[in-house]
Amino acid sequence: MPREKENDLTEDLYSQVDGYKLVPNLETCLQCGKCVGVCPVANLSPSYNPRTVINDILRGRQDRWLKSEEIWRCFWCANCYTMCPMDIPYPMLMMQIRYRAIEKGYGLKYFFPFKRFALRAMDDGLTFAPASPKGRERIGRIRQEIGLSPWPEISQKARNEYKALFEMTGAADFLASITEDKEKPVQFSYMEGKITRARGKGN
Amino acid sequence: MQEARVIKPEERLPDIPGRLFLFRSCTGSIEYPGTESAIKEILKLLGIDAVMDPDQTCCSGYLLTCSAHKPELSLAVTARNLAIVEKQELDVYTFCNGCFGYISELAHILRQNPAYMDMANGIVGKLGYRFEGKTKIFHVQELWYRMKDAIAGKVVRPLAGLKVAAHNGCHYVARQYGILDDGGYPTFHEELFEILGAEPVFYKERQLCCGYAVGRGFTHKEEMVQPHLLKKFKSAEQAGVELITTVCPGCNVALDREQPNINMRYGENFKIPVIDLSQLIALALGVPVHKLGFPANTTPLNSVLEKIGIGKETADG
């Protein structure tokens, strides 16, 4: 009978989060904490701690992070990745932590603004195009004063195909499937410098 | 996997192309169209042909990292856009750190994982595209540095005495194994400032990001982004910075549009104009000011233009 190894219970637990296998070296984390030192978000909000996030994800304790406000604060600046002695692409982990949270209905209020952007981008083939005719007019004016075409030159073919890719990759269905009634209250929040259960929840 | 990320210096510094594919940036063409215009003007002066294809779409990376959709879409969009470039046998030059970072990371994922490449090509194949993985991805700031001698020879409006500070932008420096300089503390923007006759200024919070990268400007503006940027502007002001340059229209939005809000909230009086590095180069190369689209800026450039001897009459037109 093979002997039980120390990491038998935790091995590959993090694949529950890293479904796309974009962070193959997460288990090499040294827990050195350099990421925390260079993190501008940890600087402002001490209970956001990339080292603790990695430790918890490796041990299968992702739930407390999925339910927290903290994961939505990350700027994705990748200072952590630039500094990491093991080259762990932490932003790729954070991206997927947010997917898992959305799938469980947490933090949806941080998803809806971009759902609106994405629905518009589907038609425009561009992100950030203003919705209002007035905003579009302003851009047209500035572009023409410079000597550019009033609107970025994007063909109808490009727009149609961009939209088709939303349909073909399931992105359109994903956007439609996440609706406001699925939002669950966030259970953990920042309090006195660490993650605590929100008061009065009793669990 | 990490070895595969390392791009050798000689590959980062290929011969100067006669023609390149200029990858349209949504923000750079909508929020600050002067960026697009400045780059086209500089390329014209340097004798390089810029191809922009109307069939190219948004790189889709911003919405990906804002969790609005999953990687499948962005992988397919990248395969489609790069297939368009590949067909013309050109290399991609982006003028947004976002486009640069997202496309290079997504192209890296495609090249390293045959399963993802097959998936993406399977989807875009239905639209008649195929990505082989050959096209290289650069940022125009790299081209400016590679051509610094040519640029130095064309300066007609030296920016004497102008105190300029760099903001590198995280999506560029995060590609630490595939960029021109040290991802921890790149200094090639400062070298370019010197060539243009300006005085580079190093300020304490130079490496602080803009905070807008994955839409936190929409979700956590008061809570995180403004206190974060306050630190940056305070240190820039203390160092006497007169102008900040970015290489990412997204950073430009954050640094330029947030200043009045920060002033109002914290009782400060920051008035540091923020423009693209390409706009600064175009100024020094004598491109007419009305082609640089400064009316799009929230923080006006009058002080800068006066300092380099461009009269008020041309400043707003």
Cα four-point dihedral sign B283, B285, B289, B291 = negative
Note the CATH architecture for domain A13-106+184-197: Orthogonal Bundle (1.10)
Q: How far apart are CA A124 and CA B166, in angstroms?
A: 32
Q: Provide the token pair at B133.
A: 């993985």
pLDDT at A108 over 80: yes
- At residue B250's C-alpha, the angle toward residues B90 and A164, to 5°, is 60
B96 and B123 share one domain: yes
- To the nearest whole percent, how much of chain B has pLDDT over 70? 97
Tell me the pTM: 0.92
Same domain membership, residue B51 and residue B123: yes
Residues 6+ apart with CB under 8 A from B198: B159, B160, B161, B162, B163, B164, B280, B284
The lowest-confidence range among A87-101, A180-194, B7-21, B180-194 is A180-194
DSSP-derived letter for residue A107 is S
Contacts of B107 (CB under 8 A, 6+ apart): B78, B82, B133, B135, B137
- Residue B107: pLDDT band (50, 70, 90) is very high
Task: For residue A68, give every residue at least 6 positions away whose Cβ sits within 8 Å of its Cβ, in sequence order, or none.
Answer: A186, A187, A188, A189, A195
**Across B197-211, average pLDDT:** 94
Helices and strands of chain B, counted as H and E runs: 18, 8
Residue B4 lies in a domain: no
B132 Cβ neighbours under 8 A, 6+ residues apart: B83, B86
Decide if B8 is inside a domain: no
B contact test, residue of A146, A155, A161, A190 with most B CBs within 10 A: A146
Which of A76, A119, A178 is the best residue to mutate to test the B interface, defined by the most B CB atoms within 10 Å of its own CB? Answer: A76
Chain B CB contacts of A168 below 8 Å:
76, 123, 126
Which B-chain residues 157-196 have CB contacts (< 8 A) with chain A?
A: 170-171, 173-174, 176, 183-184
- Residues of B in Cβ contact (< 8 Å) with A175: 68-69
Q: Are A90 and A48 in contact (CB under 8 A)?
A: no
Low-confidence winner among A130-134, B108-112, B113-117, B233-237 (lowest mean pLDDT) = A130-134
Judged by CB atoms within 8 Å, which residues 230-269 of B form the interface with A?
A: none
Question: Is residue B11 assigned to a domain?
Answer: no
What CATH number is associated with residue B245? 3.40.50.11810
Sign of CA dihedral B159, B164, B170, B175: positive
Average pLDDT on A31-47 reads 91
Q: How far is B79 from chain A (nearest CA, A)?
A: 11
Q: pLDDT tens digit string along A110-123?
A: 999 999 999 999 99
What is the phi-psi region of residue B10: left when phi exceeds 0, alpha when psi lies from -120 to 50, beta otherwise? alpha
Q: What is the band of A160 on the pLDDT scale with cuts at 50, 70, 90?
A: very high
Span A35-42, average pLDDT: 93
Residues B224 and B130 in one domain: no
Round the average pLDDT of chain A to a whole number and report it. Answer: 87
Q: Select the more confidently predicted residue: B225 or B311.
A: B225
Q: Which of B248, B294, B308, B300 is nearest to B272 (CA)?
A: B300
Express each pLDDT in B265-288 by its tens digit.
999 999 999 999 999 999 999 999
ipTM of this predicted complex? 0.91
Spell out the domain ranges in chain A: 13-106+184-197, 112-177
Same domain, B111 and B172: no
Query: Residues 79-118, chain B: which have Cβ within 8 Å of A?
Result: 80, 109, 113
Query: How far is the CA of B108 from the CAs of A31, A48, B24, B135, B290, in angstroms?
Result: 27, 29, 20, 11, 39
Q: Do B223 and A73 touch (CB under 8 A)?
A: yes
Query: Are B182 and B295 part of one and the same domain?
Result: yes
Q: What is the pLDDT of residue A200?
A: 45
pLDDT of residue A174 exceeding 50: yes
pLDDT digits 0-9 by tens, B4-44: 888 888 888 899 999 999 999 999 899 999 999 999 999 99
Report whether B35 contacts B25 (CB < 8 A). Answer: yes
Residue A62 is predicted with a pLDDT of: 86
Return mean pLDDT, chain B: 92
Q: Which of B112, B140, B168 is the last residue of a domain?
A: B140
Residue B177, domain member (yes or no)? yes
B311 pLDDT band, cuts 50/70/90, is low
Chain A partners within 8 Å of B291 (Cβ): 146-147
H or E segment to which residue B110 belongs: helix B97-112
A127/chain B closest Cα distance in angstroms: 6
A20·B71 Cβ contact <8 A: yes
Q: Which residues contact B192 (CB under 8 A, 6 or more apart)?
A: B144, B145, B148, B151, B277, B281
Number of H helices, E strands in chain A: 10, 2
B291–A171 C-beta distance less than 8 A: no
The pLDDT of residue B1: 53
pLDDT of A143 above 70 = yes
Residue B6 counted as domain residue: no
Write the CB contacts of B28 (distance below 8 Å, at least 6 apart in sequence).
B35, B36, B95, B96, B249, B276
- Cα separation, B316 vs B305, in Å, equals 10
Number of domains making up chain B: 2
Q: What percent of chain A has pLDDT over 70?
A: 90
pLDDT value for B9: 80
B22 and B120 in one domain?
A: yes
A189 phi, psi to nearest 5 deg? -145, 170
Is B179 found in the same domain as B87?
no
Same domain, B184 and B291: yes
Give me the domain span that covers residue B201: 156-315
B308 with B187, same domain: the answer is yes
As a whole number of angstroms, the distance between CA A36 and CA A40 comes to 8
Select from A147, A161, A174 the Cβ nearest to the Cβ of B69. Answer: A174
Report the alpha-carbon distance of residue A11 to residue A13 in Å, rounded: 5
pLDDT band for A201, please (50, 70, 90 cuts): very low
Q: What is the mean pLDDT of residues A23-36?
A: 93
DSSP-derived pairing of the beta strands B49-51 and B19-23: parallel
Decide if A146 and B227 are in contact by the 8 Å CB cutoff. Answer: no
State residue A190's pLDDT score. 52
Report DSSP letters for B134-166, one per residue: ---EEEHHHHHHHTHHHHHTT-SS--TT-EEEE
Token code pair at residue B240: 């006497």
B140, B169, B197 — which closes off a domain? B140
Residue A196 DSSP symbol: E
Question: For the ranges A5-14, A159-168, B147-156, B280-289, which has the lowest average pLDDT?
Answer: A5-14
Do residue B123 and residue B165 come from a single domain?
A: no
Note whether B125 and B161 are same-domain residues: no
- Residue B116, pLDDT > 80, answer yes
pLDDT at residue A202, as a whole number: 40
- Which secondary-structure segment (H or E) carries B277? helix B277-284
**What pLDDT, in 10s, does the model give residues A46-78?**
888 999 999 999 988 888 888 888 899 999 999
Please check the confidence at residue B255 and state whether its pLDDT lies above 90: yes
Please, which residues bridge with residue A197 across strands?
A188
Residue A151 and residue A142: Cα distance in Å, rounded? Answer: 10
Q: Are residues B116 and B235 in the same domain?
A: no
